[in-house]
Chains A and B, each alone.
Chain A
Amino acid sequence: MTLLKTHALTAYYGDFQALYGISVHLDEGETVSIVGANGAGKSTLMAALTGQLKSAADMIEFDDKPIGGLRPAEILSRGIALVPEGRQLFPSLSVEENLQVGNYGRKTRGPWNLTRVYSLFPILKERKNQASTSLSGGQQQMVAVGRALMSNPRLLLCDEISLGLAPSVIKDIYKAMAEIRSEGASVVVVEQNIGQALAASDRLYCLLEGRVTLTGRPDDLTREQIRLAYFGGSNP
């Protein structure tokens, strides 16, 4: 059953239009990836989905209910959690406190709690009282993911979780993603790293200049198609 659906979603930063009618959907339990170059609109889409950017109410439907334009806290309480681009941990809070703050706005029973998050990322348990910013990039990413999981979201949005990480660390993060999927969460993965996105998702959307230029199953898409959709234009 469809969990998330957008209908010709548009979004503006002041006068500047950033999304020109995005229509995507996600079924429960699916993992969908959204790829595109810098400035293609991926993070804008995330901002719109989480209520940081205003949109018309019926442009975004979650669980068959319109959520466009709701405040971020409200959207979180309905079960959409974001792992923000650049991790964005709270520097004044320790690792454990960062995790704890994750369920401030939504305390639902579910598979994810501190213990479970620590078993997914054991290194965090060792460092739970350290300042979150003293961790390595990969560990910080784990904290950011764990923080989002603490609210037991029905839909997890991951914005560029491989950004700035070494390849081996990226592998670890995506291994964790597999485990998260197995617990039943539906996931949207936003990536510039196409290889990773293709490997981790059931379906893919490609954005360019605020529009969807390609969609399909990874196996059905050719490199050429993706390259065209990613960069746009035609070959010389």
Chain B
Amino acid sequence: MLDPKNYTVAKSTRTSRTALVFIFVLVVLLAVAPALVSRSLLQDLFFVLTMIALAQCWNLLAGYGGLVSVGQQAFVGLGAYIGFAGSILWGLNPMLAILLAGVVGAALSVPTAFVVFRLQGAYFAIGTWVAAEVYRLVFAQWKALGGGTGTSLPSGVAKSIAGLSWVREGLDIKSSAARDVISYWIALALVVVIVGAIYAFLRTRSGLALSALRDNETAAESIGVDTRRAKFAVYIFAAFGAAITGALIFFQKASITPQSAFSVIDWTAFVLFIVVIGGIGTIEGPIIGALILFVLQNWFADYGTWYLMALGAIAIAVMLVAPRGIWGLVQAKYDFSIFPTRRRLLGPDTPVPDYTQPIREMKLPPAKGVHAADTPLEVPTMFDIETDVLIIGSGPAGGASAALLSSYGIANIMIEKYGWLANTPRAHITNQRAMEVLRELGIEEDAIAKSVPQELMGNNVFCTALAGEEIGRLLTWGNHPSRKADYDLASPCRICDIPQTLLEPIIVAKAMESGTITRFKTEYISHTQDENGVVATVRDRVANEIYRIRAKYMIGADGANSLIAEQLGLPMDGKMGLEGSMNIEFEADLSKYVAHRPSVLYWIFQPGADIGGIGAGVVRMVRPWNKWLSIYGFDIKDGPPNLSTDEAEQIVRQLIGDDEILIKIGKLSYWTINNMVARRYAKGRVFCMGDAVHRHPPTNGLGSNTSIQDAYNLCWKLKLVLEGKADASLLDTYNDERQPVGRQIVTRANKSIEDYGPIFETLGITQGGSADDVKRRMDSRKQPTVEAEAKRKALNKYIRQKSYEFNCHGVELGQRYSSSAIVSDHTAEPEYTRDRELYYHPTTWPGARIPHVWLDRDQQSVSTLDLVGRGRFVLLTGVSGAGWMEAAARASAELDIALDAIQIGPGCSVNDTFGDWAMQSEVSDSGMILARPDGHVAWRSHMLSANPTGDLLAVMRQILGRT
């Protein structure tokens, strides 16, 4: 495979650099020529120079811009007339008049372009000719300048040009000769400026784009060249050049007529010949052509018509036989350029490409060793498409991957089996860490706009029914005052509730807007991979056609029944289908039961609600307070009960505890409680994430959050590997870092279900019997007896225990990674001073996420998390850390990787106004913290080391897997 490290792009060659030196010497010689040569030779040189100027402009227009005009004489004549008008009629100094001519030429080229650009190709050419004719006819009406017979420049006006007397005295020549000298110098300057400007422009990216335009306009457009603007700009420039040159030429001639000013032969035919014979599409060509024309003119002009016929014949012959002209032959044979504008790709042993060949459309054979594993003879009938990363699945994991990769500039395609995104509310708790990722993507505000805020989420009510008795309540999701501080301190973002139906479109829209190609109704079938990449076979369900997508890497985010995980044979721990559960969506206005105790989850403890399911009956708020989803269990051994709408309504009424209230039942879906995690998340070039590798119940609200974190962890690594900045071994750290997290949350979520058991038991619901029996047992805790008191205490304890489900801040935010992409700083991991699941412990210990503090930049508050991430490494240091700043710059250059460095402190771009960073950074002012693109600390140093650059390089090399 081509290794980008071995290739560089060169803009000049040694020969071209030598030639440029010669050119410079030549220009100097030409400048002093007036002192050295005869007047007639000077006039000849003037002719050559002005023809070169005109030819370069025409070459830019036709040779590079693809606009073949045979009407540039319009601007030559226009320039000449304005020049004359300026100096004769408006009393301007001739130099100024000449400049004005250029400006007017450029200005009038705009409406002219507006008209002629409506034509294409050869018709455009004739259109420009018509335009020139119009100009001629109009100017022939200008009586003040002689109308149809023209006029001449009064000698006083001619002499008034700047510098004339200086030249006349200095060289001891007549006024008219001095005028020739000045004209000559202006011509020389004009040529140098025009050639220089064109050359400089063609070496820029826009200039290269212009070259693309000439060769193949459609191809140029397809890679994003704005052809209309490019052509327009070129046309204006050429008009400007032609007008200024025209003004100069006729100033030197000192007389003008409409026929001579707008002559097709002089200003188009000769220019055409110069460019074609010299070499179109090169800067050197017109120069050579002008010299050749000059020679021919001198020797053969006396032959009048024969001379012109010969010129015509030569042009025809050159066009047929050597279309690139003389310089083109030289370039082809010797690969030599004085003004090189092509960029050359220099590789280990690639031959120099031949840019003169047109682009060929070729159908290339398919790659070797690739076939669709288990497809019966439904052979691919459509085309293959290619990308860098193929993402299967458009859920939170897939969507986040797509959005992140696109924001990193990595080409990706996301396919989704169905025609749209999530159509059931599913995941909803969006914790702070997930919001941080959305914040980085720039869609945090969009999510907040659609979400229910933290303060409406947290009254976790445990009751016998919504309308029934409230058994207990827990403030959750950081709503308890003591927990609120924790949550607020931990992140710039706030936890919120937004159903998957609303969140997925936001993420996917962002992804697509940033460049992800999404194909809906496209079903993944199978894949193969080898050392070159992955080839997935997919089915377009609309056309019912099978085709293949080739990618360098594939992300399997295809959910809890992942086909990809199965095909890869990822080893799994745990079991699926432990319990049965069902979701019943319904609409009802429950404000009177909930508005005074707003929450996203209401837990119902009643007979029947303890069977299967997630431990209790749930009424979940989807939209406050009229859209709901109730979760109820069933015995998995019996299979899904396939309830009718009435039966579903029955259950819902039971949970609500109101027989009268208006209820509208929506979708029903059946699912299972799973307790499964993959032991390995990836195989070769395929990486699984999300529910595909960690399958657990919705308790703890960790599902989509963890999925998004999976994406956040992997995507920056893919970016660096694809850009050639990191070794592929970096990708292994995805599994090393995320798999333990997956295991942790699967365990945690399942445990949270178990924690309901004691509540049911203490309440006496599980002991069976009639409804009256159950009620009796439940009421027993209200007695003043000792047993009752014990029951009350127990119930309290078990409800408090649910904090492990609803206030599990440590699990939400406190993941610490350990892998080869984290470099130890040889300090011990800081102690957990409180329960590590319930409480987040901020630290900058390598592997942990950078703690959030508010800093100040340009009078705006900015979080530490805003400084890091975004696809690049960031080094944070203090006021005394200039050494690290320099090390970062060096390391960045040496490794050719994006590594930003920020100093925090007074007098720096970012200020620690609250002093919180100083408290939390855990390093001194001369120390540093190196943050990975996913915001986790890769390494830190307590103070400035002896060799900061060396240390930093070593650390980066280890992380990137580069030697």
Asked if A and B touch directly (CB within 8 angstroms), the answer is yes
- Tell me which residues across on chain A come within 8 A of B1, comparing CB atoms: none
- Tell me which residues across on chain A come within 8 A of B365, comparing CB atoms: 39-41, 208-210
Which residues of chain B from 323 to 360 have a CB within 8 Å of any chain A CB? 357, 360
- A13 to B361, alpha carbons, bound, how many Å? 9
Of the candidates A14, A193, A195, A223, the one whose C-beta lies within 8 Å of that of B357 is A14
Of the candidates B360, B364, B369, B379, the one whose C-beta lies within 8 Å of that of A230 is B379
State which of B119-127, B272-280, B370-378 sits at the interface with chain A: B370-378
Q: Mark A207-222, 1 if CB is under 8 A from B, else 0.
A: 0111000000000000
Nearest chain B CB to A32 CB, angstrom units: 19
Nearest chain B CB to A127 CB, angstrom units: 27
B380 contacts the other chain (Cβ, under 8 Å)?
Answer: yes
- A103 to B540, alpha carbons, bound, how many Å? 41
Of the candidates B360, B366, B369, B376, the one whose C-beta lies within 8 Å of that of A38 is B366
A111 contacts the other chain (Cβ, under 8 Å)?
Answer: no
A171 contacts the other chain (Cβ, under 8 Å)?
Answer: no
Which residues of chain A from 214 to 236 have a CB within 8 Å of any chain B CB? 223, 226-227, 230-233, 235-236
B528 contacts the other chain (Cβ, under 8 Å)?
Answer: yes
B383 contacts the other chain (Cβ, under 8 Å)?
Answer: yes
Task: Check B372 against A231 for contact (C-beta < 8 Å).
Answer: yes
Of the candidates B363, B366, B379, the one whose C-beta lies within 8 Å of that of A194 is B379
- A230 to B366, alpha carbons, bound, how many Å? 11
Task: Check A231 against B384 for contact (C-beta < 8 Å).
Answer: no
- A226 to B84, alpha carbons, bound, how many Å? 82
- A195 to B528, alpha carbons, bound, how many Å? 25
Which residues of chain A from 32 to 54 have a CB within 8 Å of any chain B CB? 37-41
Of the candidates B370, B381, B384, the one whose C-beta lies within 8 Å of that of A233 is B370
Closest residue of A by beta carbon distance from B364 = A39
Closest residue of B by beta carbon distance from A163 = B381
Nearest chain B CB to A89 CB, angstrom units: 22
- A193 to B370, alpha carbons, bound, how many Å? 19
- Tell me which residues across on chain A come within 8 A of B528, comparing CB atoms: 236
Task: Check B381 against A209 for contact (C-beta < 8 Å).
Answer: no
- Tell me which residues across on chain A come within 8 A of B360, comparing CB atoms: 13-14, 16
Task: Check A232 against B381 for contact (C-beta < 8 Å).
Answer: no
Task: Check A233 against B369 for contact (C-beta < 8 Å).
Answer: yes
Task: Check A233 against B362 for contact (C-beta < 8 Å).
Answer: no
- Tell me which residues across on chain B come within 8 A of A41, comparing CB atoms: 365
A192 contacts the other chain (Cβ, under 8 Å)?
Answer: yes
Closest residue of A by beta carbon distance from B373 = A236
Closest residue of B by beta carbon distance from A207 = B365
- Tell me which residues across on chain B come within 8 A of A13, comparing CB atoms: 360, 362
Nearest chain B CB to A11 CB, angstrom units: 12
Nearest chain A CB to B539 CB, angstrom units: 16
Closest residue of A by beta carbon distance from B363 = A39
- A224 to B384, alpha carbons, bound, how many Å? 23
- Tell me which residues across on chain B come within 8 A of A195, comparing CB atoms: 377
Task: Check A37 against B363 for contact (C-beta < 8 Å).
Answer: no
- Tell me which residues across on chain A come within 8 A of B366, comparing CB atoms: 37-39, 209, 231-232
- Tell me which residues across on chain A come within 8 A of B364, comparing CB atoms: 39
Closest residue of B by beta carbon distance from A35 = B379
The answer to whether residues A232 and B384 also contact, given A16-B362, A195-B377, A223-B377 and a CB cut-off of 8 A, is no
Task: Check A193 against B381 for contact (C-beta < 8 Å).
Answer: yes
Closest residue of B by beta carbon distance from A167 = B544
Tally of chain A residues near chain B (CB < 8 A): 24
- Tell me which residues across on chain B come within 8 A of A194, comparing CB atoms: 377, 379
Among A208, A230, A233, max chain B CB count under 10 A is at: A233
Task: Check B370 against A231 for contact (C-beta < 8 Å).
Answer: yes
- Tell me which residues across on chain B come within 8 A of A14, comparing CB atoms: 357, 360
- Tell me which residues across on chain B come within 8 A of A208, comparing CB atoms: 365
Our count of residue pairs bridging A and B at CB distance below 8 angstroms stands at 52
Closest residue of B by beta carbon distance from A192 = B381
B592 contacts the other chain (Cβ, under 8 Å)?
Answer: no
B118 contacts the other chain (Cβ, under 8 Å)?
Answer: no
B368 contacts the other chain (Cβ, under 8 Å)?
Answer: yes
Which residues of chain A from 10 to 28 have a CB within 8 Å of any chain B CB? 13-14, 16
Closest residue of A by beta carbon distance from B383 = A38
The answer to whether residues A38 and B379 also contact, given A231-B371, A232-B368, A232-B371 and a CB cut-off of 8 A, is no
Tally of chain B residues near chain A (CB < 8 A): 21
Nearest chain B CB to A194 CB, angstrom units: 6
Closest residue of B by beta carbon distance from A209 = B365
Closest residue of B by beta carbon distance from A40 = B365
Task: Check B380 against A37 for contact (C-beta < 8 Å).
Answer: yes
Among B364, B372, B383, max chain A CB count under 10 A is at: B364
- A154 to B380, alpha carbons, bound, how many Å? 32
Among B363, B368, B373, max chain A CB count under 10 A is at: B363
- Tell me which residues across on chain A come within 8 A of B368, comparing CB atoms: 232-233
Q: Mark A180-195, 1 if CB is under 8 A from B, else 0.
A: 0000000000001111
Which residues of chain B from 525 to 568 have a CB within 8 Å of any chain A CB? 528
- Tell me which residues across on chain B come within 8 A of A227, comparing CB atoms: 371, 377, 379
- Tell me which residues across on chain A come within 8 A of B379, comparing CB atoms: 37, 192, 194, 227, 230
- Tell me which residues across on chain A come within 8 A of B370, comparing CB atoms: 231, 233
Closest residue of B by beta carbon distance from A226 = B377
- A194 to B381, alpha carbons, bound, how many Å? 10
Closest residue of B by beta carbon distance from A194 = B377
Nearest chain A CB to B841 CB, angstrom units: 47
Nearest chain A CB to B534 CB, angstrom units: 14
Nearest chain B CB to A162 CB, angstrom units: 10
Closest residue of A by beta carbon distance from B382 = A38
- Tell me which residues across on chain A come within 8 A of B369, comparing CB atoms: 232-233
Nearest chain B CB to A144 CB, angstrom units: 19
Closest residue of A by beta carbon distance from B372 = A231
Nearest chain A CB to B117 CB, angstrom units: 27
Task: Check B363 against A38 for contact (C-beta < 8 Å).
Answer: yes
- Tell me which residues across on chain B come within 8 A of A38, comparing CB atoms: 363, 366, 380, 383-384
- A230 to B370, alpha carbons, bound, how many Å? 11
- A209 to B376, alpha carbons, bound, how many Å? 21
Nearest chain A CB to B370 CB, angstrom units: 7
The answer to whether residues A233 and B371 also contact, given A38-B383, A38-B384 and a CB cut-off of 8 A, is yes
Closest residue of B by beta carbon distance from A233 = B369
- A227 to B370, alpha carbons, bound, how many Å? 12
Closest residue of A by beta carbon distance from B365 = A209
- Tell me which residues across on chain A come within 8 A of B362, comparing CB atoms: 13, 16
- A195 to B357, alpha carbons, bound, how many Å? 41
- A43 to B136, alpha carbons, bound, how many Å? 55
- Tell me which residues across on chain B come within 8 A of A39, comparing CB atoms: 363-366
Q: Mark B266-290, 1 if CB is under 8 A from A, else 0.
A: 0000000000000000000000000
- A195 to B379, alpha carbons, bound, how many Å? 10
Among B365, B368, B370, B381, max chain A CB count under 10 A is at: B365
Among A13, A37, A226, max chain B CB count under 10 A is at: A37
- A194 to B376, alpha carbons, bound, how many Å? 11
Closest residue of B by beta carbon distance from A16 = B362
- A53 to B554, alpha carbons, bound, how many Å? 40
- Tell me which residues across on chain B come within 8 A of A210, comparing CB atoms: 365
Q: Mark A137-159, 1 if CB is under 8 A from B, else 0.
A: 00000000000000000000000
- A16 to B365, alpha carbons, bound, how many Å? 11
Closest residue of A by beta carbon distance from B544 = A167
- A14 to B369, alpha carbons, bound, how many Å? 27
- Tell me which residues across on chain B come within 8 A of A37, comparing CB atoms: 366, 379-380
- A233 to B373, alpha carbons, bound, how many Å? 11
- Tell me which residues across on chain A come within 8 A of B373, comparing CB atoms: 236
- Tell me which residues across on chain B come within 8 A of A16, comparing CB atoms: 360, 362
Interface pairs (14), CB distance under 8 Å: A13-B360, A14-B357, A16-B360, A39-B363, A39-B364, A39-B365, A41-B365, A192-B379, A226-B377, A227-B379, A231-B370, A232-B366, A232-B369, A236-B528
User: Besides A38-B384, A39-B365, 18 other CB < 8 A contacts?
Assistant: A14-B360, A37-B380, A38-B383, A39-B363, A39-B366, A40-B365, A210-B365, A223-B377, A227-B377, A230-B379, A231-B370, A232-B369, A233-B368, A233-B369, A233-B370, A233-B371, A235-B371, A236-B373
CB-based closest 9 A-B pairs:
A231-B371, A209-B365, A39-B363, A233-B369, A39-B365, A192-B381, A233-B371, A14-B360, A16-B362
